[in-house]
Amino acid sequence: MKSEAKIPFFLINRYLLRGNKWKLFLIIFLMAAAFINLVFVTSLFGGIIEMTNRQIINTYTGNIMIAPKEGSDFIEDLDSKLKKIDQINEVLARSAQVSVPASLESRNIKRSWPILVINPDDEKRLTNISEKIIEGEYLAQDDVDKIIIGRQIAGGDGVEMNAFSFRGAKVGDKVTMAFDGVSKEYTVKGIFYSKFLDTDERAFITEKSLKELVPDFYDNKASSIILKTAKGNEDRTIELLKEMGLSENFYTWEDVAGLMKTVTESFLSINILLSTVGVLIAAFTIFIVIYIDIVSKRQQIGILRAIGIKPYLINALYVMQTVVYSCFGVILGGIIFFGILVPYFNHYPFSLPIGDATLVINYGELIIRTETIIIVAILAGLIPAVTTTKMKLLEAIWGR
Amino acid sequence: MPKEVLIKIKNVEKTYSTGEVAVRALLGVSFEIFLGDFLIIVGRNGSGKSTLLRQIGLLDTPDAGEIIINNQNVVKISDKERSEIRLKKIGYVFQDYALMSDLTAIENVMLPAMMLERTADARKMATRLIEKVGLKDRSNNLPNQLSGGEQQKVAIARALVNNPEIIIADEPTANLDLKAAREVIEIFKNLNREGHTIVMVTHEEDEERSASRIIELIDGQILTE
């Protein structure tokens, strides 16, 4: 190391050891606050997007949805197709669903909602609706006159779609399903609340129940088959399904998401906008604080120049000092964020109409925000330091 | 045998602007500083003596004239070159000590030496000088833990650390009590006896007796030498 290059390290060490500890803490705390400000908004939107995706996959579409071929209402020859699907290792679970064009009537209210016929055990392996029962129980394989309904169908005080629901249906209530000229009375066995509006507007009955109602209707066919795969494995699985000879339409959960996809894209745009504003606020705040700190040391910079310390070393000193401030700020901010905020919001998530959002941030975004804070701090240190090393030496010494 | 010229000052002029008023601080000052001089510059307030010292110490740049150090006119050189000369050839002692507040006495002294030497060597050199100015027991004190006289001694040790050709002191006793002032002057006299060239501005008549040469400035011009 060139002899003089050690000067900034030597001085930083002394400044940190012997400088005003409160000032040091406040500057580092400010850096931490700026870091948290940048990370928080991004992670909140990240959490909402993650939650939305999770809700779609876990309560609605699975990772892949298989739909009938063009021109067909059903996936025919269901059993053989399910056997083929079961041979694919990438498929972790599958559930065939039949969508019934029926209406439900209870409490003199009659409406059409999406009613799905399922195999409860298959569905249990695929979606988490069985875990979202807030009243009563989930369907059993042998249930023939039982129905589970979403909270938006049951309705009640505080329910978003109460006006278009049964306005307070309870477990044990009778519901009449009318379908294809026949009708049957079901007992509400359970009410589920996934917090995903589209899912909570659904009702489920068993295969057995439908066969009893319309024996000819359910005959080795399905309206859709939903599949569970490892996330990110969707495209590979679709390739394998095609290789197995399935010629239906395949959609990933993102394809099915539709409106939600638009919503998440909007979130991304808002996130970029808010992040940009956050960066600007952080930049100005850090710049002002570092600027004031360095201007207050103008006399010391003047003395360094007077005793022959080269300007580039003085600039390096203050740049390194701000790097130290920002690194400690990022570390402190990281500790507060990951040690306090993330656990707190995991415990008390943001409750939104589409689900509970926690704070989620990926490493790429974390690195970008860390770099942003450090780069802003470097500029905030460099600009006033260069200004002071270029000003008249006497004015610097006199602290003017 | 003719004396060796260390610094040649030729027709140096300096004008300061304070608002709309221009103050002509130096009006064509010329003289030479010889090796081994103990040169004292005297004059009333506003006579230009501190201004002159700052031009010689390369803390400021004259508007006209030449300052020649080692056959080089240092008026037109770059900031980097001026830093180099301040570091190696000139030791400057300020009236208000100008110590780094976060560095101990020994660290203040060793800092300029660290530009040229390894840290351990710089520390050894600084320790020797701290002992020389009588602050062995105060070497690890911060400036705010030292008296004015002690701070000035640290500043003198710092000025000496790179063994400069000339030591420039701008009213080094102005802020000191009589006892401390005498100690500081004694240090300068000893340094001069050891062969150091000293240029000092002072108000004190007592201190003038230490000088081998005295230049009196009045209204930016040399009145007598």
- pLDDT of residue B118 exceeding 80: yes
Q: A2: which chain B residues are within 8 Å (Cβ-Cβ)?
A: none
B38: its two tokens: 């103990």
Q: Which of B59, B88, B102 sits opposite A306 (nearest CB)?
A: B59
Q: What is the pLDDT of residue B1?
A: 59
Q: Which of B84, B111, B119 sits opposite A307 (nearest CB)?
A: B111
A1 touches B: beta carbon within 8 Å: no
The mean-pLDDT minimum among A327-341, B54-68, B161-175, B198-212 falls in B198-212
Q: What is the pLDDT of residue A10?
A: 94
Digit-coded pLDDT (tens) for A273-289: 888 888 888 888 888 88
Burial A204-239, CB ≥16 within 10 A → b, else e: bbbbbbbeebbeebbeebbbbbbbbbeeeebeebbe
Highest mean pLDDT, choosing among A178-187, A277-286, B1-10, B36-45: B36-45
Q: What is the pLDDT of residue A335?
A: 97
Q: What is the pLDDT of residue A196?
A: 87
Percent of chain A with pLDDT over 70: 98
Which DSSP string do the residues of B112-166 spell out, in sequence order?
HHHTTS-HHHHHHHHHHHHHHTT-GGGTT--GGGS-HHHHHHHHHHHHHTT--SE
Inter-chain touch B101–A300, beta carbons under 8 Å? yes
Handedness of CA B209, B46, B155, A306 (dihedral sign): negative
Q: Provide mean pLDDT across the span A205-231.
A: 85
* Among chain A residues, CA nearest to B158: A307
> Residue A219 — pLDDT band, cuts 50, 70, 90?
confident
Inter-chain touch B114–A10, beta carbons under 8 Å? yes
Q: What is the pLDDT of residue A9?
A: 93
Handedness of CA B88, B92, B96, B97 (dihedral sign): positive
Can you tell me the distance from the alpha carbon of B89 to that of B162, in angstroms, rounded to the nearest whole number?
8
Phi, psi of A357 (to 5 degrees): -100, 135
> Residue B197 — pLDDT band, cuts 50, 70, 90?
very high
> Residue A290 — pLDDT band, cuts 50, 70, 90?
confident
Q: A11: which chain B residues are within 8 Å (Cβ-Cβ)?
A: 100, 102-103
Residue type, position B25, single letter: A
Higher pLDDT, B208 or A322: A322
> Residue A70 — pLDDT band, cuts 50, 70, 90?
confident
The chain B residues in contact with chain A (CB within 8 A) are: 54, 59-60, 79-80, 83-88, 92, 94, 98-103, 107, 111-112, 114-119, 142, 158, 162
Q: Which of A15, A18, A307 sits opposite B158 (nearest CB)?
A: A307
Higher pLDDT, A286 or A191: A191
Q: B116: which chain A residues are within 8 Å (Cβ-Cβ)?
A: 3-4
Digit-coded pLDDT (tens) for A120-172: 999 999 999 999 999 999 999 999 899 999 999 999 888 888 888 888 889 99
Domain assignments of chain A as residue spans, ordered by start? 2-56+261-398, 69-247
First to last CA, chain A: 35
The mean-pLDDT minimum among A239-248, A261-270, A308-317 falls in A261-270
- pLDDT of residue A1 exceeding 60: no
Q: Indicate the average pLDDT of chain B.
A: 90
- pLDDT of residue B13 exceeding 70: yes
Residue type, position A243, single letter: E
A241: its two tokens: 């399904």
Inter-chain touch A306–B92, beta carbons under 8 Å? yes
Q: What is the pLDDT of residue A160?
A: 82
Higher pLDDT, B139 or A216: B139
Q: What is the pLDDT of residue B225?
A: 65
Q: Provide mean pLDDT across the span A196-209.
A: 90
Q: What is the pLDDT of residue B113?
A: 94
- pLDDT of residue A3 exceeding 80: no
Digit-coded pLDDT (tens) for B126-141: 999 999 889 999 999 9
A130: its two tokens: 């069985």
> How close is the nearest chain B Cα to the Cα of A35, in Å?
29
Inter-chain touch B114–A14, beta carbons under 8 Å? no
> Residue B46 — pLDDT band, cuts 50, 70, 90?
confident
Higher pLDDT, A10 or A256: A10
Can you tell me the distance from the alpha carbon of B170 to that of B94, in angstroms, rounded to the nearest whole number?
5
Inter-chain touch A3–B114, beta carbons under 8 Å? yes
ipTM given for this complex: 0.91
Q: What is the pLDDT of residue A259?
A: 62
Which DSSP string do the residues of A135-195 spell out, in sequence order?
EE----TT-SSEEEEEHHHH--TT-TTGGGS-SS--TT-EEEEEETTEEEEEEEEEEE--S
Inter-chain touch A394–B59, beta carbons under 8 Å? yes
Q: Provide mean pLDDT across the span A298-310.
A: 90
Q: How far is CA A55 from the centre of its chain?
A: 10
- pLDDT of residue A2 exceeding 70: no
Beta bridge partners of B64: B13
A96: its two tokens: 């065939």
Can you tell me the distance from the alpha carbon of B54 to that of B41, in angstroms, rounded to the nearest whole number?
12
Percent of chain B with pLDDT over 70: 99
Q: What is the pLDDT of residue B64?
A: 94
Q: What is the pLDDT of residue B211?
A: 82
Q: Provide mean pLDDT across the span B53-57.
A: 93
Q: Indicate the average pLDDT of chain A.
A: 88
Which DSSP symbol is given to B59?
A: S
> Residue B199 — pLDDT band, cuts 50, 70, 90?
very high
Q: Provide mean pLDDT across the span A230-235.
A: 85
Can you tell me the distance from the alpha carbon of A50 to that of A57, in angstroms, rounded to the nearest whole number?
11
> pTM score, two decimals?
0.77
Q: At a CB cut-off of 8 Å and minimum separation 6, what does B170 contact?
A: B50, B53, B54, B57, B92, B93, B94, B95, B200, B201
Inter-chain touch B117–A3, beta carbons under 8 Å? yes
Parallel, antiparallel, or unpaired: how do β-strands B90-93 and A350-352 relate?
Answer: unpaired
